[in-house]
Structure 1
Amino acid sequence: MQLKGIFLLLSIGAFTSYYVYQPIPDKIEERWKLMLTDCFFRSLSHLADFSELVGLKDYMGVMMFITFAERVVPVSDQRVHVTEELFDGVEVVVYQPKLQGGDTELRRAVIYLHGGGWCLGSARMGPYDLLARQMVIDLNSVVVSVEYRLAPEHHFPVPYEDVYRVVKHFLQRVVLAQYTVDPGRIAVSGDSAGGNLAAAVSQQLQQDPEQQLQLKVQALLYPVLQALDLNTPSYQQNQNMPILPRTLMVRFWSEYFTSDKTFFRAMMTNTHNSPESAALLKFVNWSAFLPESYQGKYNYSAPVVALSAGGAGSDGPSRSIADPRASPLLVPDAALRSLPKAYVLTCEYDVLRDDGVMYAARLRRAGVEVTHEHYASGFHGALMFTVWPTDFLIGRTMTENFIKWLQHNL
């Protein structure tokens, strides 16, 4: 019995080690911490797959556990005044510096859009709450953190429209005066899917003939910017990397557009483009927009065009992927020229790396002032891992550099 017990313990230990261990590149710091963090995410993902398979709860419904587990109640403290409000019917959390005496100085403002693949996340999650407070303190700014509605309950364009309504509402002189905000010092920013929404909003505001006030800067943190080619070098290189493997990113895209699982399968094989969306592939031709160092050993191959793929067509999800409000990388150069100054953060070990690199390159070619900060040892989501036990040094560095850029440019 004793030998059987020892064997069982050794077997469990070996299985655990095998499950936890991931072949993470040596350049990434704190590799074992990332392995353990990723182990939790993978376990939850497996549970979500099983739950959906047996009909208990859909995949994203289970994955929302991450959002619920990280939720906090945003409250005021000694330095930051916090309120939960509605901007044109959309929930927002507003963070403001606590006024000192008769202080009437106009302040900067940052409209922040959380990540989570349009399906997960919340402005009320601990990491976003902490980031907002840090921006308030370090920048003496007002921060509007947007609680937009999520897919799959609310498909595109609902999340985008929620964000656009908030931005339009805030960019009114009477509203800015209420929060003592300088109309000429307003930024929009977001990470991952939030970066997608920030880029799309920046573009649409420039094309809105009724919009009088404009943003000064846009700050896009490892943004997702196109759904046409899901086989770029970074998608291939990092297909199994924490925290965002290719399968999960493709699932996010699919759920953003439709609940039709056949479209997800088409996106997984990169055969989801219709003739309508294929006409825009020239804007995501990575052999033209990526430096050779990012192309690596991969050869460009245009995605297959299918006449029908899970509802593809003029009224299906393929129409949505061709919409620049969903894929901001798809606009022509003329639509980029008038955009505000940009900050683009990318990570080497991220499926979305090439989206950000291509957008930075295209913005520069269009004459937009761009700061492209690339982290050679970075991984997706690192900016949100700054609290024990998932506190990564690179996350703190990213946060410091991001806020420093805002200090000098906003």
Structure 2
Amino acid sequence: MPSLPWRVRVQLAALKLVHRRDGSIRRLLFSLGDLKAAINATHTCNHTLLSLTVRSGDITIDASSGLWARVFSPYSSADADAPPVPVVVYFHGGGFVLLSAASRPYDAFCRRICRELRAVVVSVNYRLAPDHRFPAAYDDGVATLHYLDTNALPADMVTVPIDLSSCFLAGDSAGGNIAHHVAQRWASMSAARLRVAGAVLIQPFFGGEERTDAEVELDRVTALSVAVTDHYWREFLPEGATRDHPAARVCGDVVELADAFPPAMVVVGGLDLLKDWKARYAEALRGKGKPLVVVEYPDAFHGFHAFPELADAGKLVEEMKLFVQEHSSKRGV
């Protein structure tokens, strides 16, 4: 591990305490540490020519299932004359079983994306396993896209015009897995006003029954371990399923990709024990001729993006900005 700021070392040590040796979760301990950010919080970033404020609020997507999302919208005095901005639909990580759109690290990260990409960010609070196993998280992702396709976001929450032909799916870890599967589902559906223009997969959570070299070499280097990832899969996949289930093993020739599957940006950390699975996923996309950019950070561990103290976290946001700018359409909705 490279030298890390003391705040990062303390938080990584705390994350290790959340899991038992067998990978199971100390739920009470986790709940005490999972602090939530309040809605309607604002953050102003002063630039040379512009003072940009990010506003946040929660919306209900499906009351029957309890599905909701936190929306982050850029706001400035120039909004009245601003061109439509892209939409980033974000899926948080946590192994399909932990965290929420309101958890402080994700509130802060989505706020940063909103500010620096100048995009409306919709952070999805999808249902968690084991109470809601596969395919609940994917269903919630598709339901969110249907909501955006058929409903306008509240005017008092989003003051900028949005471009639904420039909608990007993004997520980290389990959220990156969800982003892939939701992109595949949406690309397989009939035409809609909402167009998924790209997918940003930050250290996506993929796997299989075999153990890769990285899983053996990097086991327990940080808070993530093979035992932990195995536990997450057991909680999420259908009971009795193995890690070779199509939800987890997204690589090789057997992976199906729709013709309209969007361009993808895959982020890989050199100290992530799951990095070999990400490399295989990238190979699968290339093999099927899909537009792809792989961004690698040799010293990055799993979850590095959630620590703004790290230089690589800032570099990642810049790469996301370039990707969104390249693939955004010129059409407004």
Q: TM-score range by the shorter chain?
A: 0.7 to 0.9
Per the TM alignment, residue 329 of structure 1 is displaced from its structure 2 partner at its CA by 3.5
Structure 2 residue 209 is matched with structure 1 residue 229: yes
Q: Which residue of 1 aligns with 2:119?
A: 141
> Which stretch has the larger CA shift, 120-129 or 376-385?
120-129
Which of 358, 366, 380 aligns to 2:288? It is 366
Structure 2 residue 40 is matched with structure 1 residue 59: no
Q: Which residue of 1 aligns with 2:57?
A: 83
Which of 142, 145, 150 aligns to 1:164? It is 142
Per the TM alignment, residue 210 of structure 1 is displaced from its structure 2 partner at its CA by 6.1
Structure 2 residue 163 is matched with structure 1 residue 187: no
- Mapped to 2, the partners of 1:38 and 1:74 lie a distance apart of 26
- Mapped to 2, the partners of 1:37 and 1:130 lie a distance apart of 16
1:141-162 deviations in Å (ceiling 9; x for gaps) = 1110011111122222222211
Tell whether the 8 Å contact from 1:87 to 1:170 is kept in structure 2 after alignment.
no
Structure 2 residue 194 is matched with structure 1 residue 213: yes
1:208-257 deviations in Å (ceiling 9; x for gaps) = 2364533000000000123x234112211211220311111111111112
- Mapped to 1, the partners of 2:62 and 2:191 lie a distance apart of 17
Would you say how many aligned residue pairs link Structure 1 and Structure 2? Answer: 311
- Mapped to 1, the partners of 2:234 and 2:255 lie a distance apart of 27
Tell whether the 8 Å contact from 1:221 to 1:344 is kept in structure 2 after alignment.
yes
Quote the RMSD (CA, aligned, Å): 2.8
SS at structure 2 position matched to 1:175: coil
Tell whether the 8 Å contact from 2:173 to 2:204 is kept in structure 1 after alignment.
yes
Per the TM alignment, residue 187 of structure 1 is displaced from its structure 2 partner at its CA by 0.2
Tell whether the 8 Å contact from 1:115 to 1:192 is kept in structure 2 after alignment.
yes
Q: Which residue of 2 aligns with 1:294?
A: none
Tell whether the 8 Å contact from 1:171 to 1:214 is kept in structure 2 after alignment.
no
Give the AA of the match of 2:135.
P
Which of 33, 39, 59 aligns to 1:74? It is 39
Note closer, same or farther for the CA distance 1:336–1:366 as it changes in structure 2 (3 Å cut): farther
Q: Which residue of 1 aligns with 2:13?
A: 39
> Which stretch has the larger CA shift, 78-87 or 117-126?
78-87
1:83-121 deviations in Å (ceiling 9; x for gaps) = 211123321011112253633631111001100101111
- Mapped to 1, the partners of 2:97 and 2:33 lie a distance apart of 10
Structure 2 residue 290 is matched with structure 1 residue 357: no
Q: Which residue of 1 aligns with 2:303?
A: 381
Aligned pairs for 1:222-261 (under 5 A) are 222-226=203-207, 228-257=208-237
The unaligned stretches of length 5 or more in structure 1 are 1-23, 53-57, 259-310
Note closer, same or farther for the CA distance 1:399–1:138 as it changes in structure 2 (3 Å cut): closer
1:380-400 deviations in Å (ceiling 9; x for gaps) = 0000012xxxx3333333333
SS at structure 1 position matched to 2:115: helix
- Mapped to 2, the partners of 1:138 and 1:128 lie a distance apart of 15
Tell whether the 8 Å contact from 1:112 to 1:145 is kept in structure 2 after alignment.
yes
Q: Which has the higher contact order (CA 8 A, sep 6+)?
A: 2
Structure 1 or 2, whichever has the larger Rg, is 1
Tell whether the 8 Å contact from 1:347 to 1:377 is kept in structure 2 after alignment.
yes
Per the TM alignment, residue 60 of structure 1 is displaced from its structure 2 partner at its CA by 5.2
Q: Deviating runs (4+, > 6 A) in structure 1?
A: none
Give the AA of the match of 1:41.
L
Note closer, same or farther for the CA distance 1:403–1:131 as it changes in structure 2 (3 Å cut): farther
1:256-299 deviations in Å (ceiling 9; x for gaps) = 126xxxxxxxxxxxxxxxxxxxxxxxxxxxxxxxxxxxxxxxxx
- Mapped to 2, the partners of 1:81 and 1:217 lie a distance apart of 24
Q: TM-score under structure 2 normalisation?
A: 0.83
Per the TM alignment, residue 199 of structure 1 is displaced from its structure 2 partner at its CA by 0.5
- Mapped to 2, the partners of 1:380 and 1:252 lie a distance apart of 15
SS at structure 1 position matched to 2:216: helix
- Mapped to 1, the partners of 2:152 and 2:305 lie a distance apart of 30
SS at structure 1 position matched to 2:97: coil
The unaligned stretches of length 5 or more in structure 2 are 45-52, 329-333
Higher fraction of helix: 1
- Mapped to 2, the partners of 1:333 and 1:327 lie a distance apart of 9
Tell whether the 8 Å contact from 1:338 to 1:368 is kept in structure 2 after alignment.
no
1:163-212 deviations in Å (ceiling 9; x for gaps) = 2211222133x537965211221100000000000001011111123645
Note closer, same or farther for the CA distance 1:35–1:130 as it changes in structure 2 (3 Å cut): closer
- Mapped to 1, the partners of 2:73 and 2:300 lie a distance apart of 31
Per the TM alignment, residue 334 of structure 1 is displaced from its structure 2 partner at its CA by 5.6
1:338-366 deviations in Å (ceiling 9; x for gaps) = 31111000011112111211111221221
- Mapped to 2, the partners of 1:196 and 1:63 lie a distance apart of 26
Tell whether the 8 Å contact from 2:203 to 2:268 is kept in structure 1 after alignment.
yes
- Mapped to 1, the partners of 2:199 and 2:224 lie a distance apart of 23
Q: Which residue of 2 aligns with 1:342?
A: 264
